[in-house]
Amino acid sequence: MSRRIQVGVLGATGAVGQRFCQLLEAHPWFEVGAVTASERSAGKYYKDAVDWRLSTPLPDNIGGLRVIPTRSDEMPKDVQLVFSSLPADIAERVEADYARDGFGVSSNAASYRMFDDVPLLIPEVNKDHAKLIQIQREQRGWDGFIVTNPNCSTIMLVMTLKPLMQLGLTDVKVATMQAVSGAGYTGVSSMAILDNVVPYIGGEEEKMQIETPKILGAFDGTKVINASITVSAICNRVPVIDGHTESVWVDVDASPEEVKLAMASLPPLKGLPSSPERPIIVREEDDRPQPRLDRDVYDGMSVSVGRVRRDVVKGIKYTLMGHNTVRGAAGASILNAEMLAAEGFLK
């Protein structure tokens, strides 16, 4: 990349917005030129507007930026791309405004994931779906575009399912154990989650069930044809800070060794700064993966898999784990943007 691309972060003071700022601090391709937040934060320096909750220090270069309102007409014109960590109800209107005004939008929000003309991207899995951008621009009359990354739990699941498609995958069942950071800083009170498991996360099961077939589907030149697989999900919130764990059952006619080899062989994306050298790490220890031990492998951008074995009924079962606010959120949006930049979608 011969020049650094100016980017903005929408909703920069929230949990995922902070993760965006952390990951973009020294990014070799992208430079944060603007941060947005609610009207009550507008005009403040970012360092004064944000309640910084990450373990690394707040980046000085971003902390000194003035917060601007989350409106496309407020965004500096030298910014080409914005990363959105907005709530879905706000994102639906705001992201369209940005795309209409010529900005690229790499969104972590759920608002546009299931629209037929919007790519739902995991670059190692379906980067060819980015060709929907041209169709989106033509149909909507936009100079910019919107691309989305999936739900955090979906990303980790689908990365392990993609290699199994060649083994005749038809049916998937998954039970998640999701970290509290996935609900944002004020999403689950300590009194609700300590010494507890909450067996409900609103909308989460439905997202996993409908997003997965789209991501694994085939782009036919005009649209994505969903993959012919069924997904059944149960989602639970557990007292872990970062790192979603999932127990998975898949109906494939393959041995555990064939499954492990296929997963370990998922190829990385060459030349992208955030791309992990090994997208899937297969562990052989009986008690791995674990969030505390494995969430930060390859800077949190890899998915760890373990306990791959035959099910007593049929097929294979295994455990996976990934960092929900990195690989499952901000890091996923950044990797999407890197892929788009490398493929010439950002001019």
Q: Give the catalytic positions in this structure.
A: 152, 244
Report helix, strand or coil for 260.
Answer: helix
**For the purposes of burial, counting CB atoms within 10 Å of the CB of 100, is it exposed (0-12), middle (13-18) or buried (19 or more)?**
middle
Find all residues with CB under 8 Å of 139, minimum gap 6, and list them: 117
Report helix, strand or coil for 152.
Answer: helix
Whether 123 and 269 have beta carbons less than 8 Å apart is answered as: yes
* Distances in whole angstroms, Cα of residue 280 to Cα of each of 162, 246, 277, 286: 11, 14, 9, 17
DSSP character string of 191-207: HHHTT--B---TTHHHH
Q: What are phi and psi of 203, to 5 degrees?
A: 80, -10
Find all residues with CB under 8 Å of 186, minimum gap 6, and list them: none
| The one-letter amino acid at 325 | T
Report how far residue 135's alpha carbon sits from residue 116's, in angstroms, rounded to the nearest whole number: 10
How is residue 328 written in tokens?
């499952």
Report how far residue 111's alpha carbon sits from residue 9's, in angstroms, rounded to the nearest whole number: 17
Report how far residue 14's alpha carbon sits from residue 16's, in angstroms, rounded to the nearest whole number: 6
To the nearest 5 percent, what fractions of the chain are helix, strand and coil? Answer: 35, 20, 40
Report how far residue 226's alpha carbon sits from residue 250's, in angstroms, rounded to the nearest whole number: 18
Chain centroid to Cα 166, Å, comes to 24
Whether 183 and 262 have beta carbons less than 8 Å apart is answered as: no
